[in-house]
Structure 1
């Protein structure tokens, strides 16, 4: 089932187009990751889909309606987004930050209702941040802070959550913690998760559907087997990748890779690169 899709989308800044003639669909109640080299339009696409950034032409359809014409509060009840580097006002407590997720439901003077407080406590409980409720956000570690931001998105009670590089600046343990939380939300609550990731192996491990971008265009979209393979990675990242199987998930894994020389695919001269199982891009 698809509730959200884009048709012939052009997005840019001024006269410079970043995303060109793109058409894509987001599977409902699944985890979708967007991958691609730096500057290929991943974050731009995410911002356009969530109406943070206007698009020049084309259309983005959610539940049969063009999001450009949708009421802001109604849209905010359907989708929540966490930007790449979310920032909050200094001195806010965790509980205060999470309460911002209730904005689409507030009326009049914006006072929180009993229902609002119940949802806030539930979001804190689900993300394992309830013990931080009265603590300053500034005092939290990177992983704790990211979980609090996710709690705020949950308090918004949307069926779709969009995240722009949610693992950036986190160590390996905290990256896994955040991704497992998102996977849990998808499985147990059927939330549609869409996120930009640099790490190819994290994308393969957690995604049901992957969109690979290059120069603002989709090179390949599909399941992990269809996208995380030698030919697609060669075209998208210009690398010669060695693909194996993850012994825990049996999904494709990039074991190592070399950089290919030049733009001509027929050139087989290779530069060695520092490569490891993380395959971060």
Structure 2
């Protein structure tokens, strides 16, 4: 599937957050959006999945603006896991995952044999089948996040958006979630688009990076191209020391200092 934006501007009220953004998302790859707080990362994800409307321009999927796509049809093509999923109070893991079948249901909306097979498959592939009959609220943070991902998988979409999927998780659970997404990409060919705060996680797991600042693109490219001192200086106003990840041999940020005030002005000019 080809997904791209064309001169996309997004805002709230009269305030524009993302300005004339044109990007193309690589098919069947993991794309990560990085940038400082408030730069428009989450806003971009919400507009590309039609959670919020855009001011001008277009987000285009397979040659058709998403604004012209029917809600159920769009939900068959792309799924999104927001930063703070809505409460699943009172639901078991299996019930929550079954909600992912909604776009495919007809009539009274009862689960078919195929729906049940897909729900069980999504629970299996996310290693959450043992929680099928347990209340979502009783699970740990990492377990809950995997169940939410299972619900997105149950939609059977080629594209999955995730807004900071590792937020509030400890280091082990963060790695657990990111390795799961990597397996889904490599084993199932899913296109993954996510927002991450951790630069080294972004470098380790992404094939393609989009670096944003103040709603505009600073640079796009591979980890080798983006995790560089000059790019990180422009995006985050930091002086970064870059080394190599001993596991993946990808670039990683070893340490950094804040850019001094006078130098920061020069960076922003």
Shorter-chain TM-score: which interval? over 0.9
Rounded to whole Å, the distance in 1 between the matches of 2:41 and 2:68 is 24
Cα distance in 2 for residues equivalent to 1:93 and 1:263: 55
Q: Deviations over 1:158-199 (max 9, x none)?
A: 000000000000000000000000000000000000000000
The offset of 1:266, in angstroms, is 7.5
Aligned residue runs from structure 1 range 12-51, under 5 A: 12-51=11-50
Q: Distance in 1 between matches of 2:98 and 2:194?
A: 23
Post-superposition offset of 1:88: 2.9
Retained in 2: the 8 A contact 1:238–1:259?
Answer: yes
Q: State the partner residue of 2:169.
A: 170
Equivalence for 2:223: 224
SS in 2 for 1:121: helix
* 1:261 shift after superposition: 1.8
Q: Equivalent residues in 2 for 1:197-236 (5 A)?
A: 197-236=196-235
Q: Report deviation, 1:89.
A: 3.6
Q: Does 1:139 align with 2:138?
A: yes
1:87 deviation in Å? 1.9
Structure in which a larger fraction of residues adopt helix: 2
Match of 1:94 in 2: 93
Q: 1:118-177: per-residue Cα shift (whole Å, max 9, x none)? A: 000000000000000000000000000000000000100000000000000000000000
- Which 5+ residue runs of structure 1 have no aligned equivalent? 269-281
Pairwise CA distance, 1:265 = 4.6
Write the mapping of 1:264-275 to structure 2, written as runs, cut at 5 A. Answer: 264-265=263-264
Between the aligned partners of 1:170 and 1:266, the Cα distance in structure 2 is 35
Between 214-223 and 255-264, the greater mean CA deviation after superposition = 255-264
Maintained 8 Å contact 1:261/1:267 = no
Normalised to the residue count of structure 1, the TM-score between the two structures is 0.93
Report the 3-state secondary structure (helix = DSSP H, G, I; strand = E; otherwise coil) of the residue aligned with 1:37: coil
- Distance in 2 (alpha carbons) for counterparts of 1:154 and 1:260: 42
SS in 1 for 2:22: strand
Distance 1:209 1:184 in 2: 16
Is the deviation greater in 35-44 or in 256-265?
Answer: 256-265
Deviations 1:99-118 (A, max 9, x none): 00000011111100000000
CA contact (8 A) 2:9 2:19 kept: yes
User: Structure 2 CA distance, aligned partners of 1:87 and 1:110?
Assistant: 21
What is the distance in 1 between the residues matched to 2:109 and 2:130? 26
Q: 1: distance between equivalents of 2:206 and 2:81? A: 18
Aligned length: 267
Asked if 2 retains the 8 angstrom alpha-carbon contact of 1:88 and 1:97, the reply is no
Partners of 1:250 and 1:47 lie apart in 2 by 33
Unaligned runs of 5+ in 2: none
What do residues 210-247 of structure 1 show as CA deviations (whole Å, max 9, x unaligned)?
00000000000000011010000000000000000111
> 1:77 and 2:76 equivalent?
yes
Q: TM-score, normalised by structure 2?
A: 0.97
Superposed, 1:57-76 pairs within 5 Å as 57-76=56-75
Q: State whether residues 31 and 206 of structure 1, in contact with CA within 8 Å, keep that contact through their aligned partners in structure 2.
A: yes
Change (3 A) 1:77 1:263: farther
Distance in 2, matches of 1:7 and 1:156, equals: 27
Q: Which runs of 4+ in 1 moved over 2 A?
A: 263-268
Secondary structure of the corresponding residue to residue 52 of structure 1: coil
